[in-house]
Amino acid sequence: MTRHVAHDLALAPTRDETAAQDFVSTLRAHVLNDMAASMKARYEARVAPRMAPGADGRAILAAMRHEPYFRFYSAVRVKAQEMVWASVRPTVERDAERLAARAAELSADRTRAEGTLRLDPELPIPRNVSALDVHLMPGNYHFDGGDGDLRAGALYENGLSVFSFGLMGESLDDIGCSIALWLKLRHPEFRPADILDLGCSVGHQTLPWKRAYPDARVTGLDVASPCLRYAHARAQALGLTAHFLQADATAVPLPDQSQDLVFSSMFLHELPVEDIRAVMREAWRLLRPGGLMLHYELPPNEALSAYDGFYLDWDSHFNAEPFYQGYRDLVPADEVARAGFDRARYFHAAIPSLGWYGEEAVRAAARASGTIGSDHVGRLADGVLWFVYGAWK
Amino acid sequence: MSRLPPLPERARGARPTFFDDPAIDTLVAMLLELAQEHYVARARLAALEHWAAHEVTGARLPYSEAYRLPPEEEARLADMRAAFVRRLMAPIEQV
Ligand SMILES: C[S@@+](CC[C@H](N)C(=O)[O-])C[C@H]1O[C@@H](n2cnc3c(N)ncnc32)[C@H](O)[C@@H]1O
C-alpha cells in the first residue's frame, strides 16, 4: 500500500501524519481501482447506448458530466488530490532545516558518489511551470525559498508516495527500472555513454539509467531548483553518481551530438505543443548518430478507445494539467518525424511494470512487437503497463 | 520554519465543481476531511491499545517503540482502513 520514502532524506512524520497519509493512499486506490471500474460499467450500461457512433472522448465527457456517479467520482478525486499534498506538507515544513543540512552533508560526502549540481539562478521559469500549480501541488515544482531549499522536491517525492499507493515501486522508480531493463534486453548492443533525462524532477527515473549502464555519464535536467537540490542529495544518498543541471529542455546548454540516449518521463504532457516540438528538436540536435530518443508518456488518443481517452483526460480538465489533452491529441510518429528523425525508425511499446508483473513479463515484452491492446496502458491503477515511444537517430 | 518562507498551503486556481449545487462538492470535501480524521484517531487508538496491552502484561517497551505497531497489526489496520473506505463510499454505488 503506501510506500513511505525510506532513504537518507526520509522525513520523520508523527504517527498521526503517517495515518493521514495512509488514509489518502487507500482512498485513492479505491477511487482509481474500484470506482473507476464501476464508472466504466455504468458508462457501458447507461451512456454508451445513447452515444452517437464515432463519439470521441470529449463527447463522452460531455455526456458523463450529467451522471451522478461521475460527479461523485470526480469530487472525491479532486479532494483526494488536495489531501495528498496536505498530508505531507506539515512534515516537510517541520523537517526542512534538518533535511537541508542532511542534503549538504550528502553532497559533500564524495565517498558515497561523485554527483554534481549546477544551478542557474538567472534561468527564466517557463510559464507552464510558473503560472500554475500542476496536479494541485501547492507552490509547484519550482517554489524556492532561497539557498538550500529543497522542500518542493521533498513535497513532490513524499506526495508521490501517497499518490501512487505503491504502484511506482519501493523507490518510486518502477517506470525507469522497467524501461531500462526492457531497453537492455531488446537492444543488448546499445551501450550509451552519455544519457540525459529531460524534466527529471527529483531524479526518480534518472537513476535507474545509472544502475543499468554504470559506465555512462548520466545527467538530469529540470527548470526547478528545489527539485534538483533534492535530486542531487537523493542520488548521493543512494550512492549513484549523477549530474543535475538547471536548464530549460527547449534550449539545452549542452553541445550538439553529445548524448547517446535522450530520455524523458511524464514530461512532455506538461508542455505546450510548441515546447514539445522544441524539446524534440533539441533531442535530435543533442544525439550522436545511432543515439536514441525515448519518452515515457501517456498513450496518445489515436491508440486508445474513446472511453479510455475520456478517462485519461480527466486530469487535463480537473487536475491542473492544462496541456495534457493537447499532448495526447498529437500523433507521436508525426512529431518524431517533424523533429528530424526518420519515421521508419519510430517505435512504441507497452512495457509491463517490473514491480507488478516481474522480470519475466518485461523479457516477454522485449521479445514482442509493440502493440497497445490493454486499458491498463498508461493508467495509474493496479496492473499498469508503461507506454514508451522513441526513435533512433 | 524559521529561515524559509512557508510553502503555500493551497494550490493556485479555483477547484472544479461537479454537482448542480456546488454545496454538494463542498460537503463531499468536508466529509472526506472528517473521515480522514476519524481514521487517524482509529490508528492512534490501535497504537494505544497495543501499548496498554504491554503495560498490563508488564512487558515494558521503550517509548520510541511504544506507538509503533508490529507488522501483523499494521496489516490488520490496513485491512480495516480499506474496509472503512469501502463502507464510506458504498452509498455512491447506489446512485
Ligand atoms: C511530472 S514532472 C517529471 C517527473 C520525472 N521525470 C519522473 O518521471 O519521475 C515534470 C517536470 O518537468 C519540469 N519542467 C517543466 N517544463 C520544463 C522545461 N521547459 N524544461 C525543463 N524542465 C521542465 C518540471 O519542473 C517538473 O519537474
pLDDT in tens, A37-61: 999 999 999 999 999 999 999 999 9
Mutate to test the interface with A, among B9, B20, B36, B50 (most CBs of A within 10 A): B36
Are the CB atoms for A40 and A307 separated by under 8 Å?
Answer: yes
Our answer on whether the CB atom of A222 is closer than 6 Å to any ligand 1 atom is yes
For the CA atoms of chain B, what is the radius of gyration? 19
A–B interface: beta-carbon pairs under 8 A = 133
**Chain B CA closest to residue A321:** B13
Are the CB atoms for A112 and A298 separated by under 8 Å?
Answer: no
Residue-level pLDDT at B60: 66
Grid cell, residue A277, equals 516540438
Residue A391, SS3 per DSSP: strand
Residue that the C-alpha cell 526492457 belongs to: A182
**Rounded Cα–Cα distance for residues A20 and A88 (Å):** 9
Q: Which residues of A216-241 are buried (b: 16+ CB within 10 A; e: fewer)?
A: bbbbbbbbbbbbbbbbbbbbbbbbbb
* Mutational pocket test of ligand 1: of A168, A218, A222, the residue with most ligand atoms within 8 Å of the beta carbon: A222
Stretch among A40-49, A192-201, B46-55, B86-95 having the lowest mean pLDDT: B46-55
Our answer on whether the CB atom of A335 is closer than 6 Å to any ligand 1 atom is no
Question: Is this complex scored with an ipTM above 0.90?
Answer: yes
- Any idea what DSSP says for residue A148? T
Backbone angles phi and psi of A251, in degrees to 5 = -150, 80
**Closest protein CA for atom 10 of ligand 1:** A267
Cβ contacts of B8 on chain A, cutoff 8 Å: 133, 138-139, 143
Q: pLDDT over 90 for what percent of chain A?
A: 87
Q: Could you read off the pLDDT of A344-355 as tens digits, one per residue?
A: 999 999 999 999
Q: Could you read off the pLDDT of A4-15 as tens digits, one per residue?
A: 677 889 998 988
For residues A359-364, average pLDDT: 94
Contacts of residue B55, defined as CB under 8 A and 6 or more positions apart, other chains included, come to none
* Beta pairing class for A385-392 and A346-352: antiparallel
Q: Which domain holds residue A105?
A: 1-393
Is pLDDT larger for residue A370 or for residue B80?
B80
The whole model's pTM is what?
0.94
Are the CB atoms for A77 and A318 separated by under 8 Å?
Answer: yes
Stretch among A69-78, A119-128, A153-162, A294-303 having the lowest mean pLDDT: A294-303
Amino acid letter, B30: M
User: Is A68–B95 a contact, with Cβ atoms under 8 angstroms apart?
Assistant: yes
Which strand (E) or helix (H) includes residue A45?
A: none
Residue-level pLDDT at B1: 42
User: Is B1–A65 a contact, with Cβ atoms under 8 angstroms apart?
Assistant: no
Nearest to A69 among B2, B86, B95 (CB): B95
* Beta pairing class for A259-265 and A194-198: parallel
**Which residues does residue A240 pair with via DSSP β-bridges, in sequence order?**
none
**Rounded Cα–Cα distance for residues A144 and A204 (Å):** 20
Grid cell, residue B34, equals 472528517
Nearest Cα to Cα of residue A85 among A128, A136, A131, A130 = A136
Query: How far from B72 is each of A2, A166, B62, B67, B86, CA to CA, in Å?
Result: 16, 19, 19, 14, 21
| CATH assignment at residue A57 | 3.40.50.150
- As for how many domains chain A has, the answer is 1
**Which residues does residue A346 pair with via DSSP β-bridges, in sequence order?**
A391
Instruction: Grade residue A148 by pLDDT with cuts at 50, 70 and 90.
Output: very high
